[in-house]
Structure 1
């Protein structure tokens, strides 16, 4: 059996990661409007993140995509601030420490890319995710920053990278 690995997204991963993200969003009861569910980028993740100061990583086991997470500039935000984006895992990938490994991979990339802060948006009822974010140093904000287009997200967090 092949070990679970985290690697950079490939073009051929587009369909699988879009399916994983939509499946998890539906499972979590996330609104389809005003969230990542309706992002145009979802169906072309490789192309979206194949740009400077962006990267997306997938979790793979036995050639199956189990989840992913990425870093990109925060739209209409401070140029030194990135956003942790589209970090979702199928149920079979949860509880194995992969979220912690994925965040480390993403934040290491963010530092290498020159960012000094990392922002994220989530839902208040995604308690396991919020607990993980707090564990790695994210703190809650009173409101959103930048312009993610995710107006249905109600929890905003930030972390200093320096």
Structure 2
């Protein structure tokens, strides 16, 4: 998927290296969030060890640099979860967040999802508007299972058996 020279592609260790790690670390620093190489944040250092093949995507700049990322997991029972949607500040406002989100929705639907969920820190208000624009609805609040108990909103998208979003 490509537009304006930006591409959304599956993560490849040889090509993208620690690009997702650098993106998430930069966004966490921007918001003053703690970030660590081990445990809770290890999935963005080695996406290939935490996500099924092809289920962790990156957004590349026209120069081939990783400027964003997103992941998808199968949680069982027809429920899938969107993880780690992050974009560097310079990459925002170009439609990349929506492209990454819609690609994960497509992948989940093709994998037979009945429900797609995500959790997002309460500080990411712009992302919350994006999720709602893409068809998610805010459905709950939680304290995240991270070491610092972040406050998060939960979002959900339900699918009909035909593969269309439920209304």
TM-score range with shorter-chain normalisation?
Answer: 0.7 to 0.9
Q: 1:29 to 1:79 in 2, by over 3 A?
A: farther
CA deviation map 1:73-99 (0-9, x unaligned) = 23xxx5211111011000111001111
- Give the equivalent residue in structure 2 for 1:60: 60
Instruction: Give 5+ residue unaligned stretches, structure 1.
Output: none
Within the candidate set 91, 115, 128, 1:117 is matched to 115
TM-score normalised to structure 2 length: 0.80
Structure 1 distance, partners of 2:101, 2:71, is 9
Please, what is the CA RMSD of the aligned residues? Answer: 2.4
Return the match for 1:9 from 8, 11, 25.
Answer: 11
Q: What is the correspondence of 1:48-127 to structure 2 with a 5 Å cutoff? A: 48-51=50-53, 55-61=55-61, 62-74=63-75, 78-127=76-125
Task: Work out whether residues 141 and 151 of structure 2, in 8 Å CA contact, stay in contact via their aligned partners in 1.
Answer: no
The C-alpha deviation readout for 1:91-127, integer Å capped at 9, x for no partner, is 1110011111111111100111111111111112211
TM-score (norm 1): 0.83
Where does residue 23 of structure 1 map in the other structure?
26
Gaps of 5+ in 2: 161-167
Report the secondary structure of 1:142's partner residue. Answer: strand
Query: Aligned pairs, how many?
Result: 152
Q: Distance in 1 between matches of 2:51 and 2:137?
A: 26
Call closer, same or farther: CA 1:105–1:32 in 2, change over 3 Å: same
CA distance in structure 2 between the partners assigned to 1:50 and 1:142 by the alignment? 27
Higher relative contact order (CA 8 A, sep 6+): 1
The equivalent residue for 2:165 is none
